[in-house]
Amino acid sequence: MASEWPNKVFESLLAGPLRNGIYKSKEFHGRGAKIVNMGELFANSRLRAIPMKRVELTESERERFLVAPSDLLFARRSLVAEGAGKCSIVLTVDEPTTFESSIIRARPDARKADPLYLYYFFNSSRGAHRLDTIRRQVAVAGITGGDLAKLEVPIPPLPEQRAIAHILGTLDDKIELNRQMSETLEGMARALFKSWFVNFDPVRAKAEGRDLGLPRSIADLFPDSFEHSELGDIPGGWRVGILGNGAENLRRGLQPDAISPDSAYIALEHMPKRSIALFDWATAAGLESGKFAFKRGEILFGKLRPYFHKVGVAPLDGVCSTDIVVIAPDTPEWFGFVLGHASSDPFVQYANSGSTGTKMPRTSWVEMARYAIPVPPKSVAEAFNGIVQPYVARIIAAIHQNRTLAALRDALLRKLISGELRVKDADRFLAGAG
Kindly indicate the confidence band of residue 295, based on its pLDDT and cuts at 50, 70 and 90. confident
Q: Sketch the domain layout of the chain as residue ranges.
A: 2-154, 239-375
pLDDT digits (tens, 9 = 90+) for 151-182: 999 999 999 999 999 999 999 999 999 999 99
Kindly indicate the confidence band of residue 264, based on its pLDDT and cuts at 50, 70 and 90. confident
356 pLDDT more than 70:
no
For residues 200 and 192, what is the distance between their CA atoms, to the nearest angstrom?
10
141 pLDDT more than 80:
no
How far, CA to CA in Å, does 294 sit from each of 146, 150, 250?
A: 50, 50, 7
Q: Are 337 and 197 in contact (CB under 8 A)?
A: yes
Between 433 and 416, the higher pLDDT residue:
416
For residues 290 and 13, what is the distance between their CA atoms, to the nearest angstrom?
54
Return the ∠ at Cα 224 (arms to 218 and 230), rounded to 5°.
105
pLDDT digits (tens, 9 = 90+) for 364-415: 888 888 999 999 999 999 999 999 999 999 999 999 999 999 999 999 999 9
Q: What's the confidence (pLDDT) of residue 47? A: 96
pLDDT digits (tens, 9 = 90+) for 95-140: 999 999 999 999 999 999 999 999 999 999 999 999 999 988 776 7
Kindly indicate the confidence band of residue 273, based on its pLDDT and cuts at 50, 70 and 90. confident
- Residue spans of beta strands (DSSP E) within 37-150: 46-47, 53-55, 72-75, 77-78, 87-90, 97-99, 103-106, 136-137, 141-142
Q: What's the confidence (pLDDT) of residue 242? A: 93
- Helix, strand, coil percentages for the chain (3-state, nearest 5): 40, 20, 35
Q: Which CATH superfamily is domain 239-375 in?
A: DNA methylase specificity domains (3.90.220.20)
Kindly indicate the confidence band of residue 245, based on its pLDDT and cuts at 50, 70 and 90. confident
Strand partners, 14: 108
Percentage of the chain exceeding pLDDT 90: 65
Q: What's the confidence (pLDDT) of residue 142? A: 87
Q: What's the confidence (pLDDT) of residue 324? A: 86
List, in order, residues 6 or more apart from 194 with CB less than 8 Å away.
Answer: none
Kindly indicate the confidence band of residue 303, based on its pLDDT and cuts at 50, 70 and 90. confident
Which residue, 207, 210, 240, 208, is CA-closest to 225?
Answer: 207
- Fold of the domain spanning 2-154: Adenine-n6-DNA-methyltransferase TaqI; Chain A, domain 2 (3.90.220)
